[in-house]
């Protein structure tokens, strides 16, 4: 598996001189041409996993439609060298067909092991989590209801994944989903409406659920609908945003707490979002809705024997789940950044970002979005448990930060006062020459990653000596 058709032997058993996949095709460049670009990216962007594991010999074994499809899978990582993952599956079978490539990328991203042979298992049972399955944020010191969201990505086995769909298939997919939405609308506790930005259904005529741009923008502002994907260079290069806005829309329940996106990065993004204290409620409501959708014959979700639920991006494989809460931590963000929050959350496997999504600022009141990073080789119940425990530790750090004395105003500090010298720890300038080198050479070294010169310089005497003992091994042993 993983290769295209082999080169046939001649009648005398000798192989023809022409090498498989040696030249350009209408849908993919030849190996020599392509790897001139790949090698540039490998050198300049060593963290680009797509470029890291692209192998010229393997690419050369592919030919025809197989090579064209594989090129579509990896093109975005070369077009966009700053990509972290840099590749997307185009069909539900690509993870198996192109396993020599995808296996390494997936193993490295999820387990730092390109030879990873683990098998994913799904399990939504939270009865043993928290207090009999109850995860109450109020018991962690939350004084007011907070925003909670849990979503999963799903793709139908009968269709190409979004990157390989053409306009006709996108329309057909949307039409295929309409009976599922009709069932939700007719079910007590759901109701709701379908909002579509597909201008028309082509030969099948008008789209009964079409909304104008004003309504679409209103839903985007409410975070009910996703933004214009065609403006995203990564999705554009992968073909995922093609034919915009055909095949895109959403269903939303009457209470506006349950939403299903149609035609984003995956066929479906199924989510529940609400304000409250009980994470388990959001989790259980999502599972109930997911089970209801999956009872329909048309909703046979694509799965892989090793990687669980198939998603376009390998980062979301397995559970396809992202569970998040908005947490107010004004003490940890008093400097206007989320750096201190990341120091606490990072080692716990949690991501910290702005409330508007990745690369957005933290809230003016110190509110940040917290979510577990893991998706694959972890059970759904474990993701929710990790979120709850992470918030618990983050709130403890927030309380501790509130008890620490505030630094003196700048006017009270002695101008140009040198950092206190000690016998047991190096001066900031000397120490951070080493730290900065480790940061550049070993980006996965978490100690070096989160060491800050300003913070180190603020420590004096025995405190700095003790702190230096805490972190010294990470600098002495960069790997």
Per-residue model confidence as pLDDT tens digits over 30-57: 999 999 999 999 999 999 999 999 999 9
Listed ranges 226-230, 265-269, 347-351; the one with the highest mean pLDDT:
265-269
pLDDT at residue 409 in the model: 55
Strand partners, 98: none
The CA distances from residue 370 to 153, 227, 313, 328, 341, in Å, are 19, 21, 21, 10, 10
Record the pTM. Answer: 0.79
In this prediction, residue 406 has a pLDDT band, given cuts at 50, 70 and 90, of: low
Say whether 144 sits in a helix, a strand or coil: coil
Query: Helix 167-186 vs helix 279-294: angle between axes, to the nearest 10 degrees?
Result: 110
Strand partners, 96: none
CA distance linking residue 344 with residue 53, whole number of Å: 32
> Residue 308 in contact with residue 122, Cβ under 8 Å?
yes
Looking up tokens 């073909």 gives 239
Residue 470 has pLDDT above 80, yes or no: yes
> Residue 136 in contact with residue 277, Cβ under 8 Å?
yes
CA distance linking residue 432 with residue 468, whole number of Å: 12
Share of residues in the chain with pLDDT > 90 (%): 69
Strand partners, 153: 269
> Residue 242 in contact with residue 229, Cβ under 8 Å?
no
Q: Please give the distance of CA 122 from its chain centroid, rounded to a whole number.
A: 18
The CA distances from residue 52 to 37, 56, 83, 84, in Å, are 12, 11, 11, 10
Residue 19 has pLDDT above 80, yes or no: no
CA distance linking residue 136 with residue 322, whole number of Å: 19
Longest CA–CA separation in the chain, Å: 91
One DSSP character per residue, 85-136 reads S----SSTTHHHHTHHHHHHHHHHHHHS-TT-----------TTSTBTTB-B
Q: Radius of gyration over alpha carbons of the chain, in Å?
A: 26
Q: Please give the distance of CA 183 from its chain centroid, rounded to a whole number.
A: 30
256-260, 386-390, 462-466: least confident range = 462-466
CA distance linking residue 435 with residue 447, whole number of Å: 9
Q: What is the pLDDT of residues 316-369, one digit of tens each?
A: 999 999 999 999 999 999 988 888 899 988 888 899 998 876 667 888 899 999
CA distance linking residue 447 with residue 445, whole number of Å: 6
Strand partners, 147: 275
Tokens of 322: 């992202």
Q: Number of C-alpha atoms within 13 angstroms, CB side, residue 453?
A: 11
Say whether 350 sits in a helix, a strand or coil: strand
- Is-cis flag, bond preceding 147, omega within 30? no
| Three-class HEC string of 420-445 | CCCCCCCCHHHHHHHHHHHHHHCCCC
Q: What is the mean pLDDT of residues 231-253?
A: 97
What lies within 8 Å, CB to CB, of 470 at 6+ separation is none
In this prediction, residue 414 has a pLDDT band, given cuts at 50, 70 and 90, of: very low
pLDDT at residue 407 in the model: 56
Strand partners, 271: 151, 259
């Amino acid at each position: 598996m993983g290769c295209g058709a082999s080169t046939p032997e001649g009648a005398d058993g000798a192989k023809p001189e022409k090498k498989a996949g040696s030249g350009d095709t209408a849908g993919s460049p030849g190996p020599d041409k392509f790897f001139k670009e790949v090698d540039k990216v490998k050198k300049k962007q060593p963290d680009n996993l797509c470029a890291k594991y692209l192998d010229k010999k393997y690419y050369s074994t592919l030919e025809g439609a197989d090579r064209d499809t594989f090129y579509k899978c990896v093109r975005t990582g070369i077009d966009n060298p700053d990509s972290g993952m840099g590749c997307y599956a185009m069909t539900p079978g690509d993870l198996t067909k192109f396993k020599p490539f995808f296996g390494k990328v997936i193993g490295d991203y999820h387990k730092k092991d390109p030879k990873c042979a683990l098998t994913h298992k799904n399990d939504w049972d939270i009865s043993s989590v928290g207090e009999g399955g109850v995860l109450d944020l109020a018991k962690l010191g939350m004084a007011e209801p907070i925003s909670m969201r849990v979503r999963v990505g799903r793709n139908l086995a009968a269709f190409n994944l979004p990157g390989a769909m053409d306009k006709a298939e996108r329309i057909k997919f949307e039409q295929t989903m309409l009976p599922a939405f009709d069932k939700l609308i007719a079910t007590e506790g759901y109701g709701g409406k379908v909002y579509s930005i597909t201008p028309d259904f082509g030969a099948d005529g008008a789209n009964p659920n079409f909304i104008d741009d004003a309504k679409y923008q209103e839903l985007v502002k409410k975070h009910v609908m996703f933004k214009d994907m065609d403006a995203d260079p990564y999705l554009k290069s992968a073909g995922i945003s093609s034919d915009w806005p055909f095949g895109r829309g959403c269903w939303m329940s009457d209470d506006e707490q349950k939403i299903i996106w149609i035609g984003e990065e995956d066929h479906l993004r199924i989510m529940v979002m609400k304000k409250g204290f009980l994470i388990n409620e959001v989790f259980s409501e999502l599972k109930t809705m997911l089970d209801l959708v999956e009872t329909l014959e048309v909703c046979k979700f694509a799965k892989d024997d090793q990687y669980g639920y198939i998603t376009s991006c390998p980062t979301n494989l397995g559970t396809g789940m992202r569970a998040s809460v908005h947490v107010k931590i004004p003490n940890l963000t008093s400097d206007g950044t989320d750096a201190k929050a990341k120091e606490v959350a990072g080692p716990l496997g949690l991501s910290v970002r702005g409330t508007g999504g990745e690369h957005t600022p933290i809230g003016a009141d110190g509110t940040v979005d917290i979510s577990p990073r893991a998706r694959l080789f972890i059970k759904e119940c474990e993701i929710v448990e990790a979120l709850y425990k992470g918030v618990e530790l983050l709130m403890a750090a927030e309380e501790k930060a509130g008890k620490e004395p505030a630094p003196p105003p700048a006017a009270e500090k002695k101008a140009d006062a040198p950092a206190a010298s000690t016998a047991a720890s190096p001066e900031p300038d000397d120490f951070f020459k080493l730290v900065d080198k480790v940061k550049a050479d070993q980006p996965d070294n978490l100690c070096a990653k989160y060491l800050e010169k300003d913070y180190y310089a603020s420590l004096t005497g025995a405190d700095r000596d003790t702190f230096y003992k805490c972190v010294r091994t990470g600098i002495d042993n960069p790997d």
